[in-house]
Amino acid sequence: MERVRRIRESWASFQERFERTAVGQLLISVLVGSIILTAVVCCLPDSAIRQDLLPVARPIANSTGLDQNWGVFAPDPIRRLEEVEVRITTVDDTILTWKIPPPAGFVGQFSWYHWQKLKEKVIRVPGIRAGLCHWVIRNVVEPPEQPARVEMILNTVALLPPGSNAVPKRGQFVLYDEKLAR
């Protein structure tokens, strides 16, 4: 432990001496400047300038993580909000509705993201809809209730451009419908 402490103190002393020298300040400035320039090159739109500079910037970009594409929704932002709900009709015509649970507290944000990814999959992959509906039945229907029908509904609301006063278009689509034993 004593040896580790001495190494740390020795390194801190070396670092401070190095930062005070003209060569140290020059090297640190070049390093910081090259990282900033690499970030700028990586953020440029696709152009001849970017293509010319990218081979020079790529090693720094790869080693610092600046090579990531940050155009999350560009150039095609989302155009509508989507909500999935599962409706269970029981034999006595009671309708039970299940929706993706909202986030609760700090930790809830992480589970909410999990549910959002499931929602995206269930909208785009028809093969998993029946499994989710049957999971919901097992977790929502309590004896002596008996499910007679299960439906998965997609509710949508169009997102309007900023400043628009139009009424958003709403839609409702049946993604899955199954009649169960009566």
Q: Residue 79 pLDDT > 70, yes or no?
A: yes
pLDDT digits (tens, 9 = 90+) for 124-178: 999 999 999 999 999 999 989 999 999 999 999 999 988 889 999 999 999 999 9
39: left (phi over 0), alpha (psi -120 to 50) or beta: alpha
Tokens of 71: 């155009």
Tokens of 14: 């070396």
- What's the whole-model pTM score? 0.60
Determine the average pLDDT of the residues in 94-123.
86
Identify whether the C-beta of residue 138 lies closer than 8 Å to the C-beta of residue 86: no
Per DSSP, helices labelled H in 21-150 are 22-43, 48-64, 105-124, 129-140
Determine the average pLDDT of the residues in 66-95.
85
CB atoms near residue 17 (< 10 Å): 10
What pLDDT sits at residue 97? 96
Collect all residues with Cβ–Cβ distance below 8 Å to 118 and sequence separation of at least 6: 100, 132
Q: Residue type at 63?
A: S
Tokens of 2: 């004593």
Identify whether the C-beta of residue 91 lies closer than 8 Å to the C-beta of residue 148: yes
